[in-house]
Amino acid sequence: MSLQGVLPITLTPFTDSGDVDSGGIEALTERYLDSGVDGLVALGIMGEAHKLTDAERSAVAGRYVAATDGKAPVVVGCSAPATRVAVERAREAEGLGAAAVMVAPPNNLKNLGLVFEHYREVAESVSVPVVVQDEPVNTGVVMPAAFISRVMNEVQNCRYVKLEEAPTTIKISALTNGIESADKRAGIFGGLGGMYFYEELGRGAIGIMTGFAYPEILVRVYYLYSKGREMEAREHFFRYLPLIRFEAQLGVGGVGIRKEVFKMRRVIASSHVRSPAPPLDAETLRELEDLVEYLGLTEGDTG
């Protein structure tokens, strides 16, 4: 199953006491699918994968695959500080029914030769495609476009790349020029919370992997753009860009804002974020509610 379009980075919902909320996963999956998304990405950074135990990781990924019930592909994040651990996670994800696995470089690994071997070993250990996750802010690993192109060109099973290094637009252009296979050039996803989604599509991205709390907005942008209605896509995107920008306050707690929105939409019961995490202050919550109301989204209307 090929990947394209809008694939949200799914949340890991918790109860107020911090336990994984399995019912919340069911509710989120239903809302994501009802929004018209083209797939899901479980255990991403904004899914708080790094704050889950190994048993919880397996349970969360398995629950998302089961809840999706074959209606859309599920990509599972399998990043790890050691290649052997990433291999085991990738094999487990494939066994759970993942359509692809997403792998970032091991944190702070500056030797790109070792990063290349990491991707090669993981890719050769599974039969499902690997999504190369370019996430320098969180991993501390800068992968230039030329290096990512080499991974895509030389490692057969690395078929997709998800970009998070700003500006994503310039890197997309560099990758479309550097990746030799037309198939793999058509496997570039944007990210960054949706901040540059319209521009990413214009540069050649085939979709986006991000966790914006109104995925139906991104779905509409993608639909309009893919139908050649670019000006309508731009207008729709720019209409809601203020909320995308507001949600992207990572220093304030982007995942916390995202969870607050899904709680406001009555999808999840708790907006709990596992510590360590900065709390959202009352003024930020007021600003969020004001912005949602201003955009006419109180009842979920996305035009």
Which residue in 263, 274, 258 sits closest to 18, CA to CA?
A: 274
Structure token pair of residue 115 = 């990063």
Give the separation between CA 6 and CA 73, rounded to whole angstroms.
11
Q: Which segments of the chain does DSSP mark as H helices, in order?
A: 22-34, 54-68, 83-96, 112-125, 136-139, 145-154, 168-178, 182-185, 197-203, 215-226, 230-247, 254-264, 282-294
CA distances from 285 to 17, 47, 271, 288 (A): 21, 21, 12, 5
DSSP per-residue codes, 256-296: HHHHHHHHHTTS-S----PSS-PPPPHHHHHHHHHHHHHTT
Helix (H, G, I), strand (E, B) or coil at 191: coil
Distance of alpha carbon 276 from its chain centroid, rounded?
A: 21
Has 209 been labeled as part of a binding site?
Answer: yes
Beta bridge partners of 190: 208
Q: Which residues contact 290 (CB under 8 A, 6 or more apart)?
A: none
Interatomic CA distance for residues 128 and 61, integer angstroms: 15
Residues tagged in the binding site annotation for pyruvate: 209
Residues tagged in the binding site annotation: 209
